[in-house]
């Protein structure tokens, strides 16, 4: 799927949605288009390009440039084709002598105020102004450059990724509109009038403005005014490969645009169904980590972690690891080894790791990082609805009337979905935010949440139960839906439970911290919506009652009939790019691909036959169980694919003790991450640019990842796992990831129709994809639930054991920030650090004052398991009693303080609630000092390895 | 396995029973807890908890005790 570079096709104005068809002729060609289509778009559909400057199909038409004029039979004058809708029987001429003259006149004016340095311009050959001048046949400019012009205006290169060169601006407003319509940030305006109008980022440089660096304006700009620095430095691309973002669970489609093997630009793919041409600062700009000098590209081994690394070839590395693993098993039993797979790797790679464990290690000690994020989603949705996945497409939000956002912060963590959501809210959809923190959506440009329920960390279930109580007691539930679709006896039990006065908002107000009247009003709003949709994130799952909260969310949706159609649903927002896929691929210790429990004899038999081994029917260890067992000496060999548990998992000191206790730790990663510092074998990983495969996003959408450059280590991750498996004597012999997908499809009913051929043809496919849904399933549970009848689970509110007390009076909750991703291994190695150079402690002014903390002070944060030091930021986003931080930088040690409290059903850690005390300090914590020292020594070991070779 | 490990298992089992509503319906909570452990815990972890229960089971919640008294 390599293509010579050409800009993505632009039809000038967005597609019209009408079912009614209108017939017209354009330059003598007759065609039919949906009513509401612009004349410009109709022309483009039959291959006629009307010259244009201010129009682009990502934005609503604006009608300012006047180069797109056409003639229409029976109409006077020359209407602008971008703002003129088609009419039945319309006859359009796009090329006449009169039009040519008019267009040339307009272009002449534009060019007279534009530098004529095309030959040395960064976008020479990729500029719409240049193309349009060519199209209209502009040959000379009569006005000269002596009059007033903007040619001397100075550049703004404050943003690390793009440059604003106002001398080249034609004031078409595409950037301003992109920032408003597509991104929803409203950072740009046109200041001044007439000749004096200029684009302004609110009167300051881009970097100091509201701009979130999504790049939509850069994409929209038809000139070189807004240009990516990578293009300025390296020139325009010569070929493109379509692939998928490797950052968050939105799963945006991208065109990697290259010169040779060098990516010069990532452009969001207009046909990508998850993003429809939009992107965020991470996916669009933060790809430089892939070629960062910190990449380790040679396999390394060592006998113990206090030794320098020894660089070896692949064969020696995997033989060393295999010999050690086998030796451990001989001495300590079959169950003494295991693996952790990565939600950042492809479906095929994750599938191979679980296959290696089940077929090669002969046990089920396989877990994945979803354990620490969305395992409660898997449990909760499987229990209530029957399938461990979100119910909708992202586009479904465009039909939602009332939207609940709970424990999620889409504008920071799922930015492209956040933009879609904001667009719907600007159109008038109502919004309920349930979050301890005042997230951006509560009060954003042109958006105001109807209700913000500032729940106390740990009390989600109380809020959800109270909402359900209100709906049932006020008879706002959808009787017919429940009668037709849900298990009657379970509903009756649940109704009795939820109706109890102990579940009323008034009774729960003290625990939840939410005003009862506000909560009642919010519940009524959701219950009475024609379409009500719930979006939730890790603020729901990462609690001791994460699974209960997910079930309570599903209950609310069933209760109000908000499932099985467009605009409704239960929508988990997944953190990492392939969390959904990793879960789908059987990465949990109790189930095989497709969420089928190991105890299912038929399923097990299918896999046993395909793999020619006998499978252990009993569940294996979860990640926290692995760590506990390691500390105890029962678990001694661990293979970790692309995860940094030493940084991302809670109670760092316990994790470090577990890792240090292992006889053999094999880490496969692109960098020597925190975990790799405890490793005996390092297998160099490949970035998403270096391999083929698929990712599955939060909408169950399977998208292709395509290799755009060869793997720097010589092997893609699936090849590394395969080599390790072979060294262990486990038969694996795939020539290409498509063969792995074929095996997955042959063994997994929800994937049986999936193949690379289908993905190439469709662009992407949402599972289930099989005989009854040949091109996939956009909305789940349409006529009935996957489970059969929907199940109302009882959702008892059990307060967490982690409570604020005299010693630890504050509740710490953790989260994410737009520019950084997860543990930051990738984004910290890009210019994204411009925006977030360190993690800080957000604290309310009242709490800060009590502790004598001022903005910028070092604050020591102590929990019952550990302490760390962060800089203070006084913030009104958190309420008194609650403090907040992110965990993007290893030295912050946010997880040194988080405890190993976890979700009752899945052991997903309770990252979102830790009782802490904060105080003013003058130096880093003891752990931080130790960490610095350890880090320094391990880096030396790496350097010595490089020197020795 | 260590005492610390056992203590963790006890805590986890109690938490499961509580979330299955042991304060509402002890028998049902005990049954559900049993099913849950069967489905998600390794045989070694289950065995360890059973041994602990058999040895007196100090600190086990009523539903977890009930589970082991039945079997
Ligand atoms: S910066 Fe580009 S998009 Fe914005 S007004 Fe100027 S030319 Fe148009
Ligand atoms: S980069 Fe995005 S947020 Fe920044 S000005 Fe452009 S469109 Fe607006
Ligand atoms: S929204 Fe997510 S998937 Fe899309 S570009 Fe940003 S990080 Fe990548
Ligand atoms: S493209 Fe139609 S007026 Fe600019």
Q: Do A634 and B1 touch (CB under 8 A)?
A: yes
Interatomic CA distance for residues A808 and A683, integer angstroms: 42
Predicted confidence band at A818 (pLDDT cuts at 50, 70, 90)?
Answer: low
Q: What are phi and psi of A90, to 5 degrees?
A: -60, 140
Say if residue A817's pLDDT is above 70: no
Number of H helices, E strands in chain A: 30, 37
Set of chain A residues whose Cβ sits within 8 Å of the Cβ of B28: none
DSSP code per residue over A224-262: SSEEEHHHHHH---SEEEEEE-SSBTT--EEEEEEETTE
Predicted confidence band at A825 (pLDDT cuts at 50, 70, 90)?
Answer: low
Set of chain B residues whose Cβ sits within 8 Å of the Cβ of A620: 42
Q: Do A798 and B19 touch (CB under 8 A)?
A: yes
List CB contacts of A395: < 8 A, sequence separation 6 or more. A273, A276, A420
Ligand nearest to the CA of A251: 3
Q: Between A and B, how many residue pairs show a Cβ–Cβ distance under 8 A? A: 57
Set of chain B residues whose Cβ sits within 8 Å of the Cβ of A592: none
CA proximity to A717, closest of A740, A698, A699: A740
For chain A positions 836-865, those within 8 Å of chain B (CB to CB) are none
To test ligand 4's pocket by mutation, which of A66, A77, A110, A171 has the most ligand atoms within 8 angstroms of CB?
A66
How many CB atoms within 10 Å of residue A733?
Answer: 8
CA A51 to ligand 4: nearest atom:
1
Cβ of A178 closer than 6 Å to ligand 2, yes or no, is yes
Q: Is the pTM of this model over 0.80?
A: yes
What is the mean pLDDT of the segment spanning A914-934?
84
Q: What b/e sequence results for A504-533 when a residue is b if at least 16 CB atoms lie within 10 Å of its CB, and e otherwise?
A: bbebbbebbbbbbebbbebbebbbebebbb
Interatomic CA distance for residues A313 and A306, integer angstroms: 21
Q: What are phi and psi of A710, to 5 degrees?
A: -70, 150
Say if residue A652's pLDDT is above 60: yes
Task: Provide the token pair at A79.
Answer: 């209407």
Pair type for strands A693-696 and A430-434 = unpaired
**Contact indicator for A268, A214 with CB cutoff of 8 Å:** no
Q: What are the tens digits of pLDDT across the range A497-550? A: 999 999 999 999 999 999 999 999 999 999 999 999 999 998 888 888 999 999
Task: Provide the token pair at B47.
Answer: 């065995």
Q: Could you tell me how many residues make up chain A? A: 949
Q: Whose CA is nearest to atom 5 of ligand 1?
A: A171
Cβ of A246 closer than 6 Å to ligand 3, yes or no, is no
Pair type for strands A447-448 and A681-684 = unpaired
Interatomic CA distance for residues A289 and A247, integer angstroms: 12
pLDDT at A394: 92
Which of the residues A651, A653, A905 would you substitute to probe the B interface, choosing the one with the greatest number of B C-beta atoms within 10 Å? Answer: A905
Cβ of A217 closer than 6 Å to ligand 2, yes or no, is yes
* Chain position carrying tokens 């994945």: A368
Q: Within a 13 Å sphere around the CA of A202, how many CA atoms are in the beta-carbon half?
A: 10
Q: Please, what sign has the CA dihedral across residues A557, A558, A562, A566?
A: positive
Which of the residues A364, A619, A900 would you substitute to probe the B interface, choosing the one with the greatest number of B C-beta atoms within 10 Å? Answer: A619
pLDDT at A898: 82
Cis amide linkage into residue A761, ω under 30° from 0: no
Task: Provide the token pair at A762.
Answer: 């469709």
Q: What are phi and psi of A29, to 5 degrees?
A: -95, 130
Asked if A618 has any chain B CB less than 8 Å from its own CB, the reply is yes
Ligand nearest to the CA of A197: 1
Lowest mean pLDDT among A639-653, A732-746, A884-898, A915-929: A884-898
Closest to A798 (Cβ–Cβ): which among B1, B8, B18? B18
Distance A22 CA to ligand 4 centre (A): 22
Distance A220 CA to ligand 1 centre (A): 8
CA dihedral A709, A714, A716, A719 (to 10 degrees): 150
Cβ of A283 closer than 6 Å to ligand 3, yes or no, is yes
Q: Do B12 and A634 touch (CB under 8 A)?
A: no
Interatomic CA distance for residues A410 and A184, integer angstroms: 13
Q: What are the tens digits of pLDDT across the range A273-331? A: 999 999 999 999 988 888 888 889 999 999 999 899 999 999 999 999 999 999 999 99
Ligand nearest to the CA of A56: 4
**Contact indicator for A915, A457 with CB cutoff of 8 Å:** no
Q: State the distance between the two ends of chain A, measured CA to CA, in whole angstroms.
A: 38
Task: Provide the token pair at A170.
Answer: 């034609």
pLDDT at A820: 60
The whole-angstrom distance between residue A929's C-alpha and the CA centroid of its chain comes to: 33
pLDDT at A824: 62
Asked if A620 has any chain B CB less than 8 Å from its own CB, the reply is yes
Q: Do A619 and B1 touch (CB under 8 A)?
A: no
Give chain A's radius of gyration (CA, Å): 29
Check residue A673 and report its DSSP letter.
Answer: -
User: Complex ipTM, two decimals?
Assistant: 0.92
Say if residue A621's pLDDT is above 70: yes
CA dihedral A271, A277, A278, A283 (to 10 degrees): 70
Set of chain A residues whose Cβ sits within 8 Å of the Cβ of B64: none
Q: Where are the alpha helices (DSSP H) in A612-714?
A: 623-632, 645-648, 652-661
**Contact indicator for A585, A347 with CB cutoff of 8 Å:** yes
Shortest CA distance from B32: residue in chain A: A905
Asked if A748 has any chain B CB less than 8 Å from its own CB, the reply is no
Interatomic CA distance for residues A142 and A105, integer angstroms: 10
pLDDT at B1: 56
Cβ of A282 closer than 6 Å to ligand 3, yes or no, is yes
Closest to B19 (Cβ–Cβ): which among A548, A632, A907? A548
Which of the residues B8, B19, B47 would you substitute to probe the A interface, choosing the one with the greatest number of A C-beta atoms within 10 Å? Answer: B19
HEC secondary structure over A807-831 = CCCEEEEEECCCCCCCCCCCHHHCH
Q: How far is A368 from chain B (nearest CA, A)?
A: 15
Interatomic CA distance for residues A892 and A869, integer angstroms: 7
Cβ of A82 closer than 6 Å to ligand 4, yes or no, is yes
The pLDDT > 90 percentage for chain A reads 68
Set of chain A residues whose Cβ sits within 8 Å of the Cβ of B37: none
Which of the residues B42, B45, B46 would you substitute to probe the A interface, choosing the one with the greatest number of A C-beta atoms within 10 Å? Answer: B42
Q: What are phi and psi of B34, to 5 degrees?
A: -60, -45
Cβ of A275 closer than 6 Å to ligand 3, yes or no, is yes
Q: Could you tell me how many residues make up chain B? A: 71
Interatomic CA distance for residues A636 and A659, integer angstroms: 9
Cβ of A63 closer than 6 Å to ligand 4, yes or no, is yes
How many CB atoms within 10 Å of residue A906?
Answer: 24
Q: Under an 8 Å CB criterion, which residues of B touch A?
A: 1-2, 4-5, 8, 12, 15-16, 18-19, 21, 23-24, 36, 39-45
The whole-angstrom distance between residue A932's C-alpha and the CA centroid of its chain comes to: 31
**Contact indicator for A750, A767 with CB cutoff of 8 Å:** yes
Asked if A796 has any chain B CB less than 8 Å from its own CB, the reply is yes
CA proximity to A509, closest of A453, A559, A557: A453
**Contact indicator for A647, A935 with CB cutoff of 8 Å:** no
List CB contacts of A331: < 8 A, sequence separation 6 or more. none
Interatomic CA distance for residues A844 and A343, integer angstroms: 35
Cβ of A780 closer than 6 Å to ligand 2, yes or no, is no
Set of chain B residues whose Cβ sits within 8 Å of the Cβ of A548: 19
Q: Do B39 and A628 touch (CB under 8 A)?
A: no
pLDDT at A146: 61
Give the CA distances from residue A720 to residues A348, A663, A714, A844, in Å, rounded to whole numbers and listed in that order.
12, 21, 9, 48
The whole-angstrom distance between residue A71's C-alpha and the CA centroid of its chain comes to: 46
Set of chain A residues whose Cβ sits within 8 Å of the Cβ of B36: 905
pLDDT at A125: 84
Interatomic CA distance for residues A404 and A571, integer angstroms: 10
pLDDT at A347: 95
Task: Provide the token pair at B21.
Answer: 């509503």
Q: What are the tens digits of pLDDT across the range A561-575? A: 999 999 999 999 877
Q: How far is A480 from chain B (nearest CA, A)?
A: 28
Interatomic CA distance for residues A406 and A402, integer angstroms: 13
* Chain position carrying tokens 């710490």: A812
**Contact indicator for A416, A250 with CB cutoff of 8 Å:** yes
Predicted confidence band at A425 (pLDDT cuts at 50, 70, 90)?
Answer: very high
Q: What are the tens digits of pLDDT across the range A377-397? A: 989 999 999 988 899 999 999
CA proximity to A624, closest of B54, B41, B25: B41
Ligand nearest to the CA of A220: 1
pLDDT at A925: 78
Q: What are the tens digits of pLDDT across the range A667-684? A: 999 998 889 999 999 999
């Amino acid at each position: 799927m390599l293509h010579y570079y050409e800009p993505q096709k632009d039809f000038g104005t967005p597609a019209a949605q009408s079912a009614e068809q209108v017939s017209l002729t354009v330059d003598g060609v007759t065609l039919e288009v949906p009513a509401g289509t612009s004349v410009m778009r109709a022309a483009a559909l039959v291959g006629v390009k009307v010259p244009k400057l201010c129009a682009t199909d990502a934005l609503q038409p604006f009608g300012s440039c006047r180069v797109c004029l056409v003639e229409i039979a029976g109409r006077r004058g020359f209407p602008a084709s971008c703002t003129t809708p088609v009419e039945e029987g319309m006859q359009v001429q796009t090329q006449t002598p009169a039009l040519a003259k008019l267009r040339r006149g307009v272009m002449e004016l534009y060019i007279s105020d534009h530098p004529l340095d095309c030959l040395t311009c960064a976008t020479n050959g990729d500029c719409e102004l240049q193309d349009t001048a060519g199209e209209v046949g502009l040959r000379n400019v009569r006005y000269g450059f002596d009059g007033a012009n903007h040619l001397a205006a100075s550049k703004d290169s404050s943003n690390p990724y793009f440059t604003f060169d106002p001398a080249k601006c034609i004031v078409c407003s595409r950037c301003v509109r992109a920032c408003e319509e597509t991104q929803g940030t409203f950072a740009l305006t046109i200041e001044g009038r007439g000749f004096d109008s200029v684009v302004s980022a609110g009167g300051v440089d881009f970097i100091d403005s509201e701009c979130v660096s999504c790049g939509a304006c850069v994409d929209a700009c038809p000139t070189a005014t807004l240009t990516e620095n990578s293009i300025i430095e390296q020139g325009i691309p010569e070929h493109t490969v379509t692939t998928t973002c490797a950052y968050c669970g939105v799963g945006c489609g991208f065109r990697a645009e290259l010169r040779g093997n060098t990516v010069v630009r990532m452009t969001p793919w207009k046909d990508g169904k998850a993003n429809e041409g939009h992107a965020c600062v991470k996916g669009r700009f933060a790809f430089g980590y892939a070629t960062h000098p910190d990449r380790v590209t040679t396999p390394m081994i060592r006998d113990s972690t206090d030794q320098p690394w020894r660089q070896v070839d692949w064969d020696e590395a995997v033989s060393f690891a295999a010999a050690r693993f086998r030796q451990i098993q001989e001495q300590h039993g079959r169950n003494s080894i295991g693996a952790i797979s990565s939600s950042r790797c492809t479906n095929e790679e994750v599938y191979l790791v679980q296959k290696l464990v089940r077929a090669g290690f002969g046990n089920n000690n396989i877990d994945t990082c979803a354990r620490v994020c969305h395992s409660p989603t898997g449990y909760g949705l499987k229990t209530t609805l029957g399938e461990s996945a979100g119910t909708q497409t992202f586009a479904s939000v465009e039909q939602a009337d009332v939207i609940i956002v709970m424990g999620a912060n889409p504008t920071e963590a799922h930015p492209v979905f956040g933009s879609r959501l904001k667009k719907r809210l600007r159109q008038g959809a109502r919004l309920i935010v349930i979050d301890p923190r005042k997230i951006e959506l509560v009060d954003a440009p042109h958006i105001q949440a109807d209700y913000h329920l500032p729940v106390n960390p740990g009390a989600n279930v109380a809020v959800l139960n109270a909402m359900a109580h209100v709906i049932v007691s006020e008879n706002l539930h959808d009787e017919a839906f429940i009668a037709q679709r849900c298990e009657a006896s379970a509903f009756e039990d649940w109704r009795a439970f939820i109706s109890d006065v102990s579940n009323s908002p008034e009774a729960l107000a003290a625990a939840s911290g939410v005003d009862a009247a506000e909560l009642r009003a919010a519940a009524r709003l959701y219950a009475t919506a024609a379409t009500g949709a719930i979006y939730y994130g890790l603020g729901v799952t990462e609690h001791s009652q994460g699974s209960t909260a997910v079930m309570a969310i599903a209950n609310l949706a069933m209760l109000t009939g908000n499932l099985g159609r467009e605009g409704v649903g239960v929508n988990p927002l997944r953190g990492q790019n392939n969390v959904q896929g990793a879960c789908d691929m059987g990465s949990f210790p109790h189930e095989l691909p497709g969420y089928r429990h190991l105890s299912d004899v038929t399923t097990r038999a299918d896999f046993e036959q395909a793999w020619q081994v006998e499978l252990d029917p009993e569940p294996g260890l979860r990640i926290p169980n692995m760590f506990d067992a390691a500390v105890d000496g029962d678990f001694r060999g661990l293979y970790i694919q692309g995860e940094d548990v030493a940084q991302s998992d809670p109670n760092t000191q316990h994790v470090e003790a577990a890792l240090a206790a292992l006889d053999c730790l094999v880490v496969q990663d692109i960098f020597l991450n925190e975990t790799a510092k405890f490793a005996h074998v390092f297998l160099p990983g490949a970035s998403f640019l270096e391999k083929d495969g698929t990712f599955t996003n939060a909408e169950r959408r399977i998208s292709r990842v395509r290799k755009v450059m060869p793997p720097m280590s010589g092997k893609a991750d699936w090849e590394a796992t395969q080599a390790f498996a072979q060294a262990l004597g486990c038969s694996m012999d795939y020539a290409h990831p498509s063969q792995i997908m074929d095996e997955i499809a042959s063994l997994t009913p929800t994937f049986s129709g999936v193949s690379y051929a289908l993905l190439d043809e469709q662009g992407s496919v949402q599972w289930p994809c099989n005989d009854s849904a040949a091109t996939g399933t956009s909305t789940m549970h349409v006529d009935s639930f996957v489970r059969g009848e929907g199940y109302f689970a009882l959702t008892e509110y059990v307060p967490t054991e982690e409570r604020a007390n005299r010693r630890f009076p504050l509740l710490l909750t953790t989260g994410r920030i737009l520019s950084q991703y997860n543990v930051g291994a990738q984004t910290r190695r890009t210019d994204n650090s411009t925006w977030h150079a360190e993690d800080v402690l957000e604290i309310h002014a009242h709490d800060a004052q009590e502790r004598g903390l001022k903005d910028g002070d070092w604050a020591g944060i102590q929990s019952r398991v550990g302490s760390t030091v962060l800089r203070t930021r006084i913030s009104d986003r958190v309420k008194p009693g609650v403090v907040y931080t992110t965990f993007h930088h290893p030295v912050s040690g946010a997880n040194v303080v988080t405890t190993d409290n976890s979700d009752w059903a899945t052991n997903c850690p309770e990252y979102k609630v830790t009782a802490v005390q904060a105080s003013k300090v003058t130096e880093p914590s003891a752990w931080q000092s130790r960490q610095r020292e350890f880090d320094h020594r391990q880096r030396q070991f790496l350097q010595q390895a490089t020197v020795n070779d | 396995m260590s005492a610390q490990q056992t203590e963790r298992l006890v805590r986890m089992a109690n938490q499961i029973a509580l979330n299955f509503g042991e304060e509402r319906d002890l028998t049902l909570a005990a049954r559900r807890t049993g099913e849950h452990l069967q489905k998600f815990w390794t045989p070694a972890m289950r065995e360890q908890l059973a041994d602990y229960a058999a040895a007196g089971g100090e600190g086990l919640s009523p539903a977890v005790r009930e589970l082991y008294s039945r079997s």
